[in-house]
């Protein structure tokens, strides 16, 4: 079941994520109503919920119809017409301000998700409703709030004080101007937190002045839903007309209401006296209009809560339950999809009269928003802005890519010449470019195949960075691998290599008897036995959900479905393993990373687990497909999903982290004291292990990154060593003193103490600010800069100072004292400082040794034996995997490790790229037309939903069956229906034509309709192939239909054919020509019209003639139109079946081979000179008398009442 959530701001996401977590791969569909509302949105926040992102203009929402089974929205989508195939579920977001909370938008919903009985009494008159409570607060009531984020919030508060949280509304109902300053005076006894309404920053005028004594919400670390954490720490809540009043009551917090004693709500557009926050004030809390008396009331309410009982009674009326609300909402959504809704009488009989007005107003408002705000779309020179900003997707500069997709390679070069500075994804999100990057990716997905193929790798990395919809990405890839990029073509094989499917590409080269490229041979050899696993992982990214494959402990490749009992483990493999194998000089860890990945697969198989391989394109964003299945993901952190384990390159060369919580300061060992970590470590064993580590890594000069040959100056003397870090690295979030601030602090300290500080810049650092600071400090003589081997620099240092760099762990190998200013996985063995003053004190007193050398050696034993594993220690890797999986209930009963397990998948290349019955969506695309698939697929989905039996027909069906796509010479898409479905089909065709601004025609012959045509408007630019729906009548056992043929518009092809069949291919005598003119005057006129170049002038009027009512029409029809007949065995169209399981709405005759033989003979062999009037086995000429008999019978079959022509 595909579920989407329509949103345009962060609050709406927070309000729905607890529902989303109950579905597989749900999408949050971000629209451009106010892109600034997403300025600080981080897509990584969706990871715990397994949710992904789509990006769309709000005026393009009609295109979503049929892509999702249901879409959940908290506002009325601006649609010209309601969706036909997708259910709209409306979600309540507030109890306050009734004119907006309970307005007419609910009439447009298939179902409403409401908080409780009170809301049902109002909304239940407008649509079917389900009481679900407020899912947003499930983590609060189920004690699932993230403890780390809660600690970060509490760290900003004085634990000796009570906490008051002020939550005003926005707009003219807000009281912040009147009460914020007064509340600031409470700071002597209270932590006073002010959190403005989420729309205040968008809709209200910003006031730069801030009252002293207040803690503003934007001073807390960014998180998806700060409100939940504020409710947790609040002792009392102050609010006005905000829905936060009821959130606080829901969370059992005492509430003080504030307002203006002169407030008059008569005629107000959002509230009136019926509002709960007005009519039920006596059940909510004290209502204050006097700022002078507010302090006393707050003090009394904190000491004694006299409103507790009436609050609970009000909550019981308004909310069905506390906790478990997301599950209730998800069940209601599933029921909406599976069961036809029971509409209230008002929605059934009254709503249709004004629903069109509501929809038109929504569209008009959306158009007005678009025209008013340039921020809502890229400007005409937006590409230049993108180039100057220099967005990067993952590690690939999006600057050049974005320019290249729209302006070609020359545009990419222009971006580079413009000096565009690559910015990391974190900076992209922080600068508000998250939505823009998503729109770019959506645009890329609609571009011609060639453009998509060229930029596949960059797009793949972008999908990971912005958590682009996994199901949409699979659809994009599936469409890409057809036509010119079919795996059987050279371009297709190259595309396979870009995706990492090297074994598949290799097999296809052999199959096609082509010379295999040397680069491919080398890459396969370098990957070794892992190449087959990566190939399978890439296949799983392309294949649909029910065609996912896994590897059994016996090394067999089988379907994943039903493998839960065999303990399938989802294992992510980095795509860089197959794409970046030549950077060992810079990244010394590459080969060890490759071998470690191989041993992970072998270790899981040897322990009795099936491996479900997945491909991870970037370092962010990997989310397991199912919460029921254990998973190992790279560079991820604990998100509350039980059974998800985290992989990362370790701090020491050759070692990798395999942990249940994450890495660095988020890991399971972070925060644990040193005595606890080393309590059970034997000193003798630790000493021996340290000597082995020191000899291999220090004496061997091995580090994670390749080291330069530069020598360390001998005259340095005693110095403090500062290894710099990448300023925007993920672990920088763990810093108390960040790397740039630490550099500046040490420069200041060294300049006043006369001490030496040696600095080494990180090889991956690209920060201009860091480069400038280092350069200035070096010129001033405050620091020395060196690029020597890291082990040499550590060896000569008196102390190493770092935030949380891996160099800190390498310094421990040499038993050097380490001072750290951020959280890390080795922090227990360092001197931790959190402020600059604390740092200066430690350095001045040389108080930098927190533990003895013996304890440091014990720690290193624990660190490399119980937290990290060595890449080639196969038994240790297997033990760690089994231990972690058993710890979450995924042990394989009775499984004995198979130490002799050898990984090889020789059968991997035998798996078909797509199943034999699969006809992918790209089959509905022609050439580079991006709209064809959307329009045709929409028509077929709507036919299917309304019970219209429509089948692919003629050349379109031939192309799909023969090539898996339309023939490249196709001039239209052929469909067929029975006359029984005429009325429903006509209404649907008209609707699709209106939705996509197509020209709609009905073709008639003497009172009998025989076809619909949907195409671009005449004279306009062609944007799609015509959709031709032919209507068939029953004639005995046959399917019969007339076929008009214009002898002129087809450029006289048939008249010339008849002329040649009569007079031969050679030059005919004058007598034979005259005889032909006498017997066939119309054909002769057509040939003459062609020679005189009059075919267009005659042909255009013919196109508009259907009935031929006027004398002119009848004359033109008699001269230049000939009628033929289709006569096809009816059994072919009575027995239909889907062309693929994934496309149940695309039907074809069950006996498709027999049908194509009847029409085309040897249909598998293309015929260049094919002409359907002559070569098709089911079309023939018909006499005038016989035609009249057939048409009379056809008119009797037309549904009554007789449909009027449109």
User: What pLDDT, on a 0 to 100 scale, did the predictor assign at position 391?
Assistant: 34
User: What pLDDT, on a 0 to 100 scale, did the predictor assign at position 54?
Assistant: 94
Query: Which residues on neighbouring strands pair with residue 396, listed in sequence order?
Result: 393
Helices (H), 126-235: 138-141, 147-154, 176-184, 200-203, 226-233
The single residue listed with the structure tokens 């099936």 is: 610
| pLDDT (tens digit per residue) in 212-251 | 788 988 888 888 999 999 999 999 999 988 899 999 999 9
User: What pLDDT, on a 0 to 100 scale, did the predictor assign at position 827?
Assistant: 95
CA-CA distance, 65 to 84, in Å (whole number)?
Answer: 7
Least confident of 417-431, 791-805, 915-929: 915-929
CA-CA distance, 860 to 650, in Å (whole number)?
Answer: 13
Q: Which residue has the higher pLDDT, 1070 or 857?
A: 857
| pLDDT (tens digit per residue) in 679-689 | 999 999 999 99
User: What pLDDT, on a 0 to 100 scale, did the predictor assign at position 95?
Assistant: 93
Residues 857, 812: contact at Cβ < 8 Å? no
1191 alpha-carbon distance from chain centroid: 53
CA-CA distance, 319 to 308, in Å (whole number)?
Answer: 16
pLDDT at 791 over 80: yes
Residues 3, 64: contact at Cβ < 8 Å? no
Least confident of 396-405, 795-804, 841-850, 905-914: 396-405
pLDDT at 201 over 80: no
Q: Which residue has the higher pLDDT, 1205 or 197?
A: 197
CA-CA distance, 489 to 965, in Å (whole number)?
Answer: 14
Residues 892, 611: contact at Cβ < 8 Å? no
pLDDT at 747 over 50: yes
Distance separating the N- and C-terminal Cα atoms of the chain: 37
**Topology annotation, domain 3-137+325-376:** Rossmann fold (3.40.50)
Most confident of 198-202, 204-208, 926-930: 198-202
Which residues, 6 or more positions from 1093, have their beta carbon under 8 angstroms from its beta carbon? none
Fold match flag (3-137+325-376 vs 674-862):
yes
- Average pLDDT of span 25-46: 85
User: What pLDDT, on a 0 to 100 scale, did the predictor assign at position 1063?
Assistant: 53
CATH architecture of 674-862: 3-Layer(aba) Sandwich (3.40)
CA-CA distance, 782 to 410, in Å (whole number)?
Answer: 45
Closest CA to 767 of 758, 777, 775: 775
CA-CA distance, 195 to 167, in Å (whole number)?
Answer: 5
pLDDT band for position 348 (50/70/90)?
A: confident
| CATH tag for 922-1044+1121-1197 (out of 3.30.70, 1.10.10, 3.40.50, 3.30.460) | 3.30.460
Closest CA to 765 of 725, 800, 734, 793: 725
CA-CA distance, 370 to 368, in Å (whole number)?
Answer: 5
CA-CA distance, 987 to 1008, in Å (whole number)?
Answer: 17
Mean per-residue pLDDT over the chain, rounded = 81
Residues 51, 26: contact at Cβ < 8 Å? yes
Residues 463, 54: contact at Cβ < 8 Å? no
User: What pLDDT, on a 0 to 100 scale, did the predictor assign at position 871?
Assistant: 92
Beta strands in 236-329 (DSSP E): 236-239, 255-258, 287-288
Longest dimension (CA), the chain: 121
Q: Where are the domains of the chain?
A: 3-137+325-376, 147-307, 387-480, 486-494+501-621+630-654+871-915, 674-862, 922-1044+1121-1197
Q: Which helix (H) or strand (E) holds 1168?
A: none
**Topology annotation, domain 147-307:** Rossmann fold (3.40.50)
User: What pLDDT, on a 0 to 100 scale, did the predictor assign at position 1051?
Assistant: 46
User: What pLDDT, on a 0 to 100 scale, did the predictor assign at position 716?
Assistant: 79
pLDDT at 260 over 70: yes
> In the numeric block, which tokens belong to residue 302?
């904190």
Which residues, 6 or more positions from 975, have their beta carbon under 8 angstroms from its beta carbon? 939, 940, 950, 951, 952, 953, 956, 1027, 1028, 1029, 1030
- Average pLDDT of span 256-271: 79
| pLDDT (tens digit per residue) in 81-90 | 888 889 999 9
Q: Which helix (H) or strand (E) holds 880?
A: helix 874-887
User: What pLDDT, on a 0 to 100 scale, did the predictor assign at position 417?
Assistant: 47
pLDDT band for position 471 (50/70/90)?
A: confident
DSSP sequence for 800-868: EEESS-HHHHHHHHTT--EEESB--TTGGGSEE--SHHHHHHHHHHT----S-HHHHHHHHHHIIIIIE
CA-CA distance, 323 to 622, in Å (whole number)?
Answer: 28
User: What pLDDT, on a 0 to 100 scale, did the predictor assign at position 141?
Assistant: 95
Taking the model in full, what pTM does it have?
0.69
Least confident of 56-65, 280-289, 671-680: 56-65
pLDDT at 1160 over 60: yes
Number of C-beta neighbours around residue 502 at 10 A: 23
pLDDT band for position 1102 (50/70/90)?
A: very low
- Average pLDDT of span 1010-1033: 78
User: What pLDDT, on a 0 to 100 scale, did the predictor assign at position 138?
Assistant: 95
CA-CA distance, 566 to 992, in Å (whole number)?
Answer: 47
Query: Which residues on neighbouring strands pair with residue 542, listed in sequence order?
Result: none
CA-CA distance, 713 to 701, in Å (whole number)?
Answer: 18
- Average pLDDT of span 739-757: 92
Query: Which residues on neighbouring strands pair with residue 647, listed in sequence order?
Result: 634, 658
> In the numeric block, which tokens belong to residue 60?
């393009």
| pLDDT (tens digit per residue) in 99-134 | 888 988 898 899 999 999 999 999 999 999 999 999
């Amino acid at each position: 079941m595909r579920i989407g959530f329509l949103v345009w701001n962060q609050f709406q996401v927070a309000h729905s994520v607890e529902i989303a977590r109950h579905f597989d791969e749900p999408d949050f569909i971000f629209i451009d109503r106010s892109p600034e509302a997403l300025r600080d949105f981080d897509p990584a926040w969706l990871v715990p919920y397994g949710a992904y992102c789509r990006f769309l203009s709000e005026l393009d929402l009609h295109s979503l119809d049929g892509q999702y089974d249901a879409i959940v929205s908290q506002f009325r989508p601006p649609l010209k017409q309601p969706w036909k195939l997708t259910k709209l579920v409306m979600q309540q977001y507030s109890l306050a301000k009734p004119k907006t909370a309970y307005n007419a938008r609910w009439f447009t919903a298939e179902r409403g998700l409401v908080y409780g009985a009170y809301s049902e009494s109002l909304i239940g008159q407008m649509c079917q409703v389900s009481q679900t409570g407020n899912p947003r607060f499930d983590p609060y009531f189920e004690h699932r709030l993230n403890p780390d984020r809660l600690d970060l919030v509490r760290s900003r508060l004085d634990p000796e004080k009570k906490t008051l949280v002020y939550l005003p509304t926005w707009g003219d109902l807000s009281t912040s101007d009147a009460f914020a300053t007064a509340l600031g005076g409470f700071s002597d006894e209270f932590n006073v937190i002010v959190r403005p309404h989420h729309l205040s920053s968008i809709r209200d005028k910003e006031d730069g002045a801030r009252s002293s004594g207040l803690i503003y919400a934007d001073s807390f670390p960014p998180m998806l839903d700060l409100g939940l954490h504020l409710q947790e720490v609040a002792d009392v809540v102050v609010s006005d007309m905000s829905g936060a009043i009821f959130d606080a009551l829901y969370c059992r917090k005492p509430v003080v209401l504030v307002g203006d004693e002169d407030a008059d709500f008569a005629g107000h557009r959002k509230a009136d006296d019926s509002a709960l926050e007005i009519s039920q004030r006596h059940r909510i809390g004290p209502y204050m209009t006097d700022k002078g008396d507010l302090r006393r009331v707050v003090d009394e309410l904190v000491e004694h809560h006299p409103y507790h009982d009436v609050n609970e009674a009000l909550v019981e009326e308004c909310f069905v339950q506390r906790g478990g609300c997301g599950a209730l909402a998800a069940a209601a959504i599933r029921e909406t999809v599976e069961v036809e809704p029971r509409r209230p009488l008002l929605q059934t009989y009254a709503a249709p009269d004004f629903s069109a007005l509501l929809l038109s107003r929504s569209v008009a408002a959306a158009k007005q928003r678009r025209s008013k705000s340039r921020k809502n779309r890229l400007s005409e020179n937006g590409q230049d802005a993108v180039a100057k900003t220099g967005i990067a997707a993952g590690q690939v500069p999006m600057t050049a890519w974005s320019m290249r997709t729209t302006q070609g390679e020359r545009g990419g070069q222009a971006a580079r010449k413009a000096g565009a500075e690559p910015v990391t994804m974190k900076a992209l999100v922080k600068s508000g470019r998250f939505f823009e990057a998503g729109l770019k990716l959506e645009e890329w997905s609609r571009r011609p195949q060639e453009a998509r193929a060229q930029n596949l790798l960059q797009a793949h990395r972008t999908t990971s960075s912005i958590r682009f919809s996994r199901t949409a990405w699979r659809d994009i890839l599936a469409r890409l691998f057809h036509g010119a990029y079919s795996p059987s073509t050279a371009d297709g094989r190259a595309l396979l290599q870009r995706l990492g499917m090297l074994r598949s590409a290799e097999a296809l080269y052999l199959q096609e008897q082509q010379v295999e490229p040397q680069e491919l041979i080398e890459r396969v050899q370098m990957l070794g036995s892992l190449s087959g696993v990566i190939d399978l992982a890439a296949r799983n990214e392309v294949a649909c959900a029910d065609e996912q494959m896994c590897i059994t402990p016996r090394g067999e490749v089988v379907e994943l479905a039903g493998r839960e009992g065999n303990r399938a483990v989802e294992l992510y493999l980095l795509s860089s393993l197959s794409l970046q194998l030549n950077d060992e000089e810079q990244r010394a860890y590459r080969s060890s990373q490759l071998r470690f990945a191989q041993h992970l697969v072998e270790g899981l198989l040897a322990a009795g687990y099936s491996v479900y391989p997945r491909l991870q394109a970037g370092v962010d964003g990997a989310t397991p497909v199912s919460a029921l299945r254990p998973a190992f993901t790279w560079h991820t952190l604990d998100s509350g999903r039980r059974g998800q384990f985290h992989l990362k390159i370790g701090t020491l060369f050759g070692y990798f982290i395999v942990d249940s919580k994450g890495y660095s300061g988020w890991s399971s060992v972070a925060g644990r004291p040193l005595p606890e970590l080393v309590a059970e470590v034997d000193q003798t064993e630790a000493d021996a292990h340290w000597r082995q580590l020191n000899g291999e890594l220090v004496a061997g000069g091995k580090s994670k990154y390749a080291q330069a040959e530069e020598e360390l100056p001998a005259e340095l003397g005693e110095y403090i060593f500062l290894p710099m870090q990448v300023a925007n690295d993920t672990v920088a979030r763990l810093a108390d003193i960040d790397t740039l601030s630490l550099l500046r602090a040490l420069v200041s300290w060294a300049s006043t103490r006369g001490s030496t500080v040696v600095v080494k810049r990180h090889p991956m650092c690209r920060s201009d600010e860091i480069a400038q600071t280092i350069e200035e400090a070096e010129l001033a003589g405050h620091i020395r800069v060196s690029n020597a081997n890291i082990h040499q620099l550590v060896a000569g240092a008196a102390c190493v100072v770092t935030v949380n760099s891996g160099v800190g762990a390498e310094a421990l190998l040499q038993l050097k004292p380490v001072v750290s200013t951020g959280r890390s996985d080795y922090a227990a063995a360092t001197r931790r400082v959190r402020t600059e003053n604390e740092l200066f004190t430690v350095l001045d007193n040389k108080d930098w040794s927190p533990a003895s050398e013996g304890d440091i050696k014990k720690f290193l034993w624990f660190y490399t034996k119980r937290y990290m594993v060595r890449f080639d220690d196969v038994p240790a890797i297997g033990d760690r995997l089994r231990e972690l999986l058993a710890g979450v209930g995924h042990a394989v009963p009775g499984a004995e490790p198979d130490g002799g397990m050898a990984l090889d998948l020789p059968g991997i290349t035998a798996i078909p790229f797509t199943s034999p019955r699969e006809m992918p969506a790209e089959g509905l695309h022609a050439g580079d037309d991006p709209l064809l698939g959307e329009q045709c697929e929409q028509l077929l989905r709507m036919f299917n939903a309304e019970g219209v039996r429509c089948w692919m027909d003629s050349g379109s069906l031939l192309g799909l069956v023969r090539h898996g796509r339309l023939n490249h010479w196709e001039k239209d898409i052929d469909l067929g229906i029975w006359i029984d479905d005429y009325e429903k089909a006509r209404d649907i065709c008209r609707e699709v034509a209106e939705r996509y601004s197509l020209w709609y025609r009905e073709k008639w012959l003497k009172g009998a309709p025989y076809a619909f045509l949907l195409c671009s408007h005449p004279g306009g630019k062609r944007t799609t192939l015509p959709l031709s729906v032919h209507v068939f009548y029953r004639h005995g056992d046959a399917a019969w239909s007339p076929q008009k043929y214009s002898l002129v518009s087809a450029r006289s092809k048939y008249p010339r054919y008849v002329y040649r069949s009569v007079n031969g291919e050679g030059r005919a005598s004058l007598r034979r020509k005259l005889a032909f003119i006498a017997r066939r005057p119309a054909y002769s006129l057509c040939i003459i019209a062609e020679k005189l170049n009059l075919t267009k002038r005659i042909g255009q009027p013919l196109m508009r003639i259907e009935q031929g009512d006027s004398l002119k029409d009848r004359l033109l029809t008699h001269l230049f139109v000939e009628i033929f007949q289709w006569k096809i065995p009816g059994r072919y169209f009575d027995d239909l079946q889907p062309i693929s399981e994934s496309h149940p709405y695309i039907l074809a005759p069950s006996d498709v081979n027999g049908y194509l033989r009847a029409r085309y003979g040897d249909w598998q062999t293309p015929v260049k000179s094919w002409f359907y009037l002559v070569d098709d086995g089911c079309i023939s000429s018909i006499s005038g008398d016989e035609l009249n008999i057939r048409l009379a019978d056809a008119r009797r079959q037309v549904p009554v009442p007789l449909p009027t022509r449109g």
